[in-house]
Amino acid sequence: MTRPLDGITVVSLEHAVAAPFCTRQLADLGARVIKVERPGSGDFARGYDQRVKGQSSHFTWINRSKESLALDVKQPQAKAALLQLLATADVLVQNLAPGAAARMGLSYETLKSHNPRLIVCDISGYGSDGPYRDKKAYDLLIQSEAGFLSITGTPDAPSKAGISVADIAAGMYAYTNILSALLLRGRTGEGSHIDVSMLEAMGEWMGYPMYYAFDGAPPPPRTGASHASIYPYGPFVAGDGGTVMLGLQNEREWKVFCDEVLQRPEVATDARFDSNARRNRHRTELQALILDIFAGLTATQVVERLDAAAIANARVNDMAGLWAHPQLQARNRWRQVPTPAGEVPALLPPGVNSAFDYRMDAVPAVGQHNAAILAELGWSAEQIDALQMPQAI
């Protein structure tokens, strides 16, 4: 079976989340991803926690199907090996500290003279120029800088996202830009340089609240898990303590909701609630009314009424609920992936393609593929052994 990126080689100087998330997507599609790590400790995300059979949850999630090459690229022989790889590689991805790759002689301008077909993707917090170019950036800091925290949380306190949304956004834009660059290279025969910033990735995702606050208008308020401008849209507690998330989109659904779910048809025409704008203004009173009715029902009964009325809804799941989600089970979305500590379950990438299956190979140990990769480059066993000996300080 042929995958879309079979035959494509990606070399990655990566750590943490943004670049590894990008390159794992490329590996899913068949690319060979060679992950260059520090000898011994490797990617520092390996040490974030020990939740997966003694291994890091972040690392296990975004580093399957890769080969690990442990190189101290400050050493001349190690850097020579890296440049050998890049001479025939298709893509270089890096998210080192600002300016670090260029200081190592790994800028696009330097590399393209040796490999004109090479695509170089630099991922950084703020981009390769501008006044913030050299500023350090982490996911939470970019969430803050991009205004995400100003619209997320409760009226009393802002909250960050529970996952690394800025890293994921940057990683996904790096991934799609690389796919675009590969398509363009297929037409021109030449590589290109991609400069992805976390701030710009989050800026794109913040488009709705920015336009909502256009020309000095008030921004969306922080409303917890409720929608900032549509009501009722958010979490409601049932009588058994279970929480149901529901969302109404239009006036037709509002009438059905009152008739079939609340079983109080007169509420639909109440002057406080007969349009979304008025429901939004009077959400405190409407919330109390809904909660009073839901107090006599279990969460399951509320969901049954919502489903019968074709009103969008969801359970407020926890991680155990997601692991056991019946829809993921029914669609056969889980696979077993080897790791250095044994097999673990992993979700298939989103999207079912009739033409190919995704690659779902092992999560590597640090330097696991050194000997094989260096032998491919023509290194002798003695040279490989010498490279892997501890260097004098």
Q: CATH 3.40.50.10540: which residues of the chain?
A: 9-205+327-387
Residues 6+ apart with CB under 8 A from 174: 18, 19, 22, 93, 121, 123, 194, 196
Taking the C-alpha atoms of residue 174 and residue 123, their distance in angstroms, rounded to an integer, is: 7
Contact 307, 329 (CB under 8 A): no
Q: Is the bond into 232 cis (omega within 30 degrees of 0)?
A: yes
What is the DSSP secondary structure assignment for residue 54, as one 8-state letter? T
Q: For residues 236 and 295, is the Cβ–Cβ distance under 8 A?
A: no
Q: How far is the C-alpha of 30 from the C-alpha of 355, rounded, in Å?
A: 13
Q: Which element (helix H / strand E) includes 77? A: helix 76-88
- CATH code that applies to domain 9-205+327-387: 3.40.50.10540
pLDDT at 393: 38
Instruction: Name the active-site residue from 193, 227, 325, 369.
Output: 227
- Position 228 scores a pLDDT of 85
- Region for residue 367 given its phi and psi (left: phi exceeds 0; alpha: psi -120 to 50; beta: otherwise): left
Mean pLDDT score, 126-152 = 95
Contacts of 225 (CB under 8 A, 6+ apart): 234, 235, 245
Structure tokens at 303: 């969901």
Q: What is the mean pLDDT of residues 260-274?
A: 97
> Would strands 32-37 and 9-13 be described as parallel, antiparallel, or unpaired?
parallel
Distance CA 177, CA 194 (A): 7
pLDDT for position 388: 76
Please give the share of the chain, as a percent, with pLDDT higher than 70. Answer: 99
Q: Is residue 118's pLDDT more than 90?
A: yes
Residue 392 binned pLDDT confidence (cut-offs 50, 70, 90): very low
Question: Long-range CB contacts (< 8 A, 24+ apart) of 335-342?
Answer: 335/360, 337/64, 337/361, 337/362, 337/363, 338/362, 338/363, 339/52, 339/53, 339/55, 339/60, 339/363, 340/55, 340/364, 340/365, 340/368, 341/52, 341/53, 341/54, 341/55, 342/53
Query: If DSSP codes are grouped into helix, strand and coil, which group holds residue 312?
Result: strand
pLDDT single digits (tens) 62-103: 999 999 999 999 999 999 999 999 999 999 999 999 899 999
Record the pTM: 0.92
Q: Which residues pair with 119 in a beta bridge?
A: 91
DSSP state of 290: H
Task: Read off the pLDDT band of 391 (50, 70, 90).
Answer: low
The answer to whether the beta carbons of residues 64 and 91 sit under 8 Å apart is no
Please count the helices (runs of H) and the strands (runs of E) in the chain.
Answer: 17, 11
Superfamily grouping for domain 233-316:
formyl-coa transferase, domain 3 (3.30.1540.10)
Give 387's pLDDT tier (boundaries 50, 70, 90): confident
- Residue 42, CB-side half-sphere exposure with 13 Å CA sphere: 21
Per cent of the chain over pLDDT 90 is 94
Question: CB of 152 within 8 A of CB of 165?
Answer: no
Give the pLDDT score at 255: 97
Backbone angles phi, psi at 84, to 5 degrees: -60, -45
Instruction: Name the segment(s) of the chain with CATH classification 3.30.1540.10.
Output: 233-316
For residue range 10-31, what is the model confidence (pLDDT) as tens digits? 999 999 999 999 999 999 999 9
Q: What is the mean pLDDT of residues 250-267?
A: 97
* Mean pLDDT score of the chain: 95
Coil, helix or strand at residue 120: strand
**CA 71, CA 82: separation in Å to the nearest integer?**
8
> What is the model's pLDDT at position 389?
67
Q: For this structure, is 369 an active site residue?
A: no
| 296-345 pLDDT, tens digit each | 999 999 999 999 999 999 988 999 999 999 999 999 999 999 999 999 99
| d(C-alpha 210, C-alpha 216), whole Å | 10
> Is 8 a residue whose pLDDT tops 60?
yes
Mean local confidence (pLDDT), 216-232: 91
